[in-house]
Amino acid sequence: MELTITKRDGTKELFNADRINRSIERACYGMIDPIAKVTQVATDTKITLYNGITTEELDLATINAATQNIKENPDYDKIATRLLLKTIYKYILGDYGDNIEQLKKLHQDNFSNFIKKGVTDKILDSRMVELFDLDQLSRALKIERDELFVYAGLSTLLNRYSIKDKNQKPFETPQYFFMRVAMGLSYNEKDPTEWAIKFYEKMSQHEYVAGGSTNIYSGTATPSLSNCFLLEIHDDMGHISKSVADVMLLSKASGGIGASITKLRAAGSPLASNNTTSSGPTPFAKIIDTAIRAIQRGGKKKGALCFYMENWHLDFSDFIEWKHNAGDDYLRMRTADTAVFISDEFMRRVEKRMDWYMFDPKETPDLNELYGESFSKKYNEYIKMAEEGKLRMWKKVPATEQYRHILVAMQTTSHPWLTFKDSINLRALNNNTVTIHMSNLCTEICLPQDKDN
């Protein structure tokens, strides 16, 4: 049976096995026993073919045939990478006849058009044309550096970070990507072209790679370059509503978010405004969890957020269960992550096998703002008040029991992450401002927050 291939323009031609084999051969150059590798990839490719297969599907079939053999020999990773690069070159630069020198020339000759078309289509910022010597930048491109990629890195760059055209088709090669990001970082330099080349040299050699949001948005018409945001949600409906809106807008701009919810009063806490009781932090967290699930960061990644709660909060036992797979879905967070903000006081009580007391933040509002010795002193004062019947809502558990509960949840669901309030605040260089209430999504940034910041 004869197989036909459907080309991009819709026309059909007979399947040419020699053409596919030559393509795989070029991807195997410089390797040990290339004939065996070509035969393996070609054989695995042929199994998946069908009559009328498109050229795009045929390219993908050869790449998949290579990737499924990586477990047998890491050389197949390089083969898959080269095959993927070939498809991107052909789609963006056109036919180069497998001539490397021709490919380099096409790369340089088309760079200026890539930038200008991006600006015309309002994909790229107009400053990309106004501030740079595009001819000089095109001469700085080093296509041979695409050989530095492994398959996972290249496919991630193309699928998640490289920009697409108006039809959501590939718009930039890997080296165009690096130069586009470098240009977007250089607007305010004295000589933007010089600095774009300096940035490009580092990035194209994989010596430095910018963060996710920078990679997605640098040089574009919406240049949101910040990757991480931290915010604290306060205990009033207006600020809760504002925080939901902030989370949505920051997620839209591709930001990863850390949000402290320790200040939200506990479930059952009285509401003076209407003489009822609070539903606690969980339903409000669920609203945010749903909101970030609805938003694709940069159109490429699901929204991402981590909730932080101090473990003296009365509803902390519910918080531990937020990432559990079973239970009422309204009480579970399907997208957001969770992290516990632990004090040294708690760890001392675990060590000494003492009780751990939990309170309603409405009655103990200053605990969230204290750390170190000041926290321990005030915490013990509240324990005394609770035992004397001066607090409305509180409970106690053995500290070891809560710690075990945290660790079991962490082992089974990977949440909550453990972060240490006193270590963070006592070592912070900016702890002369206000208290640091949590970290960010990835737990590497610790900055102070208040209601307005």
pLDDT band of 423, cuts 50, 70, 90: very high
pLDDT at 434 over 90: no
Distance CA 22, CA 24 (A): 5
Per-position b or e across 70-79, b if 16+ CB within 10 A of its CB? beebebbbbb
At 157-183, the pLDDT tens digits run 999 899 998 888 899 999 999 999 999
Strands 256-260 and 228-232, bridge-based pairing: parallel
Q: Residues 141-156: what's their mean pLDDT?
A: 96
pLDDT band of 310, cuts 50, 70, 90: very high
How far is CA 450 from its chain centroid?
25
Q: Which residues touch 249 (CB under 8 Å, ≥6 apart)?
A: none
Q: Which residues touch 93 (CB under 8 Å, ≥6 apart)?
A: 103, 106, 107, 110, 173
- Kind plus residue range of the DSSP H or E element containing 339: strand 337-342
Beta strands in 222-336 (DSSP E): 228-232, 256-260, 270-271, 276-277, 296-297, 301-302, 304-310
**Which residue intervals of 17-54 are DSSP H helices?**
17-27, 34-47
Q: Which residues touch 62 (CB under 8 Å, ≥6 apart)?
A: 20, 23, 24, 41, 45, 83
| Model pLDDT, residue 413 | 95
| Model pLDDT, residue 275 | 79
pTM: 0.83
Q: Is 75 helix (H, G, I), strand (E, B) or coil?
A: helix
pLDDT at 372 over 90: yes
At 389-412, the pLDDT tens digits run 999 999 999 999 999 999 999 999
Q: What is the mean pLDDT of the chain?
A: 92
% of the chain with per-residue pLDDT over 90:
74
| Model pLDDT, residue 97 | 72
C-alpha distances out from residue 175 to 9, 295, 383, Å: 27, 29, 61
| Model pLDDT, residue 433 | 74
At 57-102, the pLDDT tens digits run 999 999 999 999 999 999 999 999 999 999 999 889 987 777 788 8
Distance CA 173, CA 156 (A): 13
| Model pLDDT, residue 385 | 97
Q: Is 43 helix (H, G, I), strand (E, B) or coil?
A: helix
| Model pLDDT, residue 373 | 96
**What is the secondary structure of 109-151 as a DSSP string?**
HHHHHHHHHHHHTTSB-THHHHS--HHHHHHH--GGGGGG--H
Q: Which of 107, 127, 264, 138 is CA-nearest to residue 200?
A: 138
Q: Which of 108, 106, 206 is CA-nearest to residue 149?
A: 206
At 17-69, the pLDDT tens digits run 888 888 899 999 999 999 999 999 999 998 988 988 988 899 999 999 999 99
| Model pLDDT, residue 306 | 97
| Model pLDDT, residue 432 | 67
| Model pLDDT, residue 428 | 87
| Model pLDDT, residue 155 | 95
Q: Is the peptide bond before 416 cis (omega within 30 degrees of 0)?
A: yes
Q: Is 215 helix (H, G, I), strand (E, B) or coil?
A: helix
At 212-257, the pLDDT tens digits run 889 999 999 988 888 899 999 999 999 999 999 999 999 888 888 9
Q: Quick one: 400 exposed, middle or buried, by C-beta within 10 A (0-12, 13-18, 19+)?
A: middle
Strands 337-342 and 417-420, bridge-based pairing: parallel
| Model pLDDT, residue 431 | 61
Q: Are 89 and 176 in contact (CB under 8 A)?
A: no
| Model pLDDT, residue 1 | 59
Q: Which of 183, 180, 161, 179 is CA-nearest to residue 170?
A: 161
Q: Which residues touch 77 (CB under 8 Å, ≥6 apart)?
A: 66, 67, 70, 150, 151
| Model pLDDT, residue 282 | 96
pLDDT at 300 over 80: no
At 269-279, the pLDDT tens digits run 988 788 788 99
Tell me how long the chain is.
Answer: 453
pLDDT at 430 over 80: no
Token pair of 173 as six digits: 């090669």
Q: Are 327 and 374 in contact (CB under 8 A)?
A: no
- Answer with the residue of higher pLDDT: 434 or 204: 204
pLDDT at 290 over 90: yes
| Model pLDDT, residue 270 | 85
Per-position b or e across 109-147, b if 16+ CB within 10 A of its CB? ebbbebbeebbeeebbbebbeebbebeebbebbebebbe
At 103-148, the pLDDT tens digits run 999 999 999 999 999 999 999 999 999 999 999 999 999 999 999 9
| Model pLDDT, residue 253 | 82
Distance CA 54, CA 138 (A): 33
- The alpha-carbon radius of gyration of the chain (Å, integer) is 28
Distance CA 373, CA 364 (A): 16
**What positions carry a catalytic annotation?**
440, 442, 444
Q: Are 160 and 133 in contact (CB under 8 A)?
A: no
pLDDT band of 298, cuts 50, 70, 90: low
Distance CA 292, CA 69 (A): 37
Distance CA 10, CA 159 (A): 25
